[in-house]
Amino acid sequence: MQDYDFIVVGSGSAGSVVAEKLSASGRFSVLVLEAGGTDRSFFVQMPLGYGKTFFDPAVNWNYKTEPDPGLAGNADHWPRGKLLGGSSSINAMVWIRGQREDFDGWAAAGNTGWGFDDLLPIFKAIEDNEAGADEWRGRGGPIHVTDNRSRVHPLTHRFLKAGQQAGLALNQDFNGAAQEGVGVYQINTKNGRRWSAARAFLRPAMKRANIRVVTNALATRILFEGTRAVGIEYLKHGRTINARAGREVVLCGGSVNTPQLLQLSGVGPADLLKNLDIPVVHANAQVGANLQDHLGINYTYKGRLPTLNQTLRPWWGKMLVGMQYLLLRTGPLSMSMNQGGGFFRTDEGQLRPNMQLYFQAFSTVLPKPGERPILTPDPWPGFSIGLSNCRPSSRGSIMICSKNPLDYPKIVPNAYSTETDVEEMLAAVKFVRKIASMPAMSEVITEEVLPGPKCVSDDELIADFRKRSGTVYHPVSTCRMGPDASQSVVDPRLKVHGLAGLRIVDASIFPDNISGNTNAASIMTGWKGAEMILEDHP
């Protein structure tokens, strides 16, 4: 039996921070188990390389949801990072914190210490913002945030102008005083390289003698003595190994794997566990329930001006941007495909933005099987205005279907299963068309390719977004935090209700989804969770 003070399961956005903070003082021994392998790969480090990692089983769990009636029966592809850095090593790097009201809502639900004013110092401490520090922003922290305002494709400026013509304000900083408006996305990169949680937190920590990071190590069961978690059973190269945690086991496997590991270990809905013949350690119907995710769709246009398609598609263009990237670490390969974007309200009755925009100066309507064709876009000058909802009310679940830890759990998103979600998306796609119809955009558009001019009535628009939309990769809340043990999985100090020695620190604890991309909030959760663990082990 191996012996440590803490065992951290998963080295993703939150787990990397937890591992760094628990090992920093040198007082504790820390074992980090990561099911995937190294992040030292060209397509992980090169920002636009996430087109390649999107389906790559070497670094990606590649989940598939159940066929979803809300998505016209489609089974959605759910990439999740399976490597050091987790999903922060394969994501699109857009750096968004969410809205003040998101976190104030968490606190108002009884999660003391999780209001925006409590968290702002952490958000500031996390980042090294190229645009500089102010009341809202931080400098000198571990995550480098690149300000791309001077680097985006010229068409992005047209999108910003059209957004303003459609009534939105120009917003210089979505993580500043207000989120609403159109602007350029900041991304977590440094000198043209992805700046994942692994690079920012885990790799520096790995130089310490008191931390051991084991890759290709799949945690298969939490070991309990009564109701106290005392260790982890894991699988490495076909061998089962037990490791003991003298102080705590910290689950950081993310919104899919954390509920899966709990259920495999006898913590979950009683009926599910009994049906699968898993001895119940602690019954809690909330484990794997309350799944929330953002859904997105693209409207794609053919244009009169060259887009990134003309640069990224031909062999000579690939060679040019490749050289530019290798020699100077600049150009399209050093950026996210989402260069511009914004937040807006679908009607005046909304008190804050309920929709997010993405502008992509290229298009990928013609898919290549097994590849997200970011690096091989369409042969014509195309671009897309993308959209995702901020706080959908549909709820799904993630439940195991067997005792075998190698079997994937069943993911049921229940997308667009409420009237409100359908109505707000309908209003939102109409607003996308409004942006496209503004002079700054319409004068360069020759044709709407998707969904196309024949898609006009409400019924046609709804049928189209049911058929074409899918996850924008922000599943949360499957082990949600809350003070009431009958309605949640962890308490506001992230301790699992009803058990000792066990915490969850990852996006699965979000009481509700935040308005925007979830990486920064996951890293914040890692930071705050680690602080609370250290307070409890003075």
- 519 counts as binding ligand FAD under rule CB under 6 A: yes
> Angle, to 10 degrees, between the axis of helix 116-126 and the axis of helix 100-108?
130
Catalytic residues, by residue number, are 474
- 123 counts as binding ligand FAD under rule CB under 6 A: no
- 296 counts as binding ligand FAD under rule CB under 6 A: no
- 91 counts as binding ligand FAD under rule CB under 6 A: yes
> Angle, to 10 degrees, between the axis of helix 13-24 and the axis of helix 519-536?
30
Measured CA to CA, the distance from residue 161 to residue 157 in angstroms comes to 6
Query: To the nearest whole angstrom, how small is the minimum distance from the Cβ of residue 508 to ligand FAD?
Result: 6
List Cβ neighbours of 1 (8 Å cut-off, separation of 6 or more). 231, 242, 243, 244
Interface residue with ligand FAD, options 6, 13, 159, 364 (CB under 6 A): 13
| DSSP line for 498-530 | T-BSEEE-SGGG-SS--SS-SHHHHHHHHHHHH
Between 98 and 482, CB nearer to ligand FAD: 98
**127's tokens:** 């980042």
- 33 counts as binding ligand FAD under rule CB under 6 A: yes
Scanning 151-159, 248-256, 280-288, 446-454 for contacts with ligand FAD by CB under 6 A, the matching segment is 248-256
Question: For residues 79 and 238, is the Cβ–Cβ distance under 8 A?
Answer: no
3-state secondary structure of 68: strand
Question: For residues 227 and 499, is the Cβ–Cβ distance under 8 A?
Answer: yes
Phi-psi region of 323 (alpha: psi -120 to 50; beta: other; left: phi over 0): alpha
Interface residue with ligand FAD, options 144, 149, 474, 528 (CB under 6 A): 474
Query: To the nearest whole angstrom, how small is the minimum distance from the Cβ of residue 113 to ligand FAD?
Result: 19
Interface residue with ligand FAD, options 30, 155, 308, 520 (CB under 6 A): 520
The residue type at 179: Q
Query: To the nearest whole angstrom, how small is the minimum distance from the Cβ of residue 503 to ligand FAD?
Result: 13
Does a cis peptide bond (omega within 30 degrees of 0) precede residue 379? no
Scanning 251-259, 292-300, 323-331, 419-427 for contacts with ligand FAD by CB under 6 A, the matching segment is 251-259
- 478 counts as binding ligand FAD under rule CB under 6 A: no
Interface residue with ligand FAD, options 44, 48, 93, 524 (CB under 6 A): 93
Question: For residues 497 and 286, is the Cβ–Cβ distance under 8 A?
Answer: no
Scanning 116-124, 175-183, 247-255, 349-357 for contacts with ligand FAD by CB under 6 A, the matching segment is 247-255
- 94 counts as binding ligand FAD under rule CB under 6 A: yes
- Binding residues vs ligand FAD (CB under 6 A): 9-15, 33-36, 79-82, 86-88, 90-94, 96, 218-219, 252-255, 257, 261, 473-474, 506-507, 517-520, 522
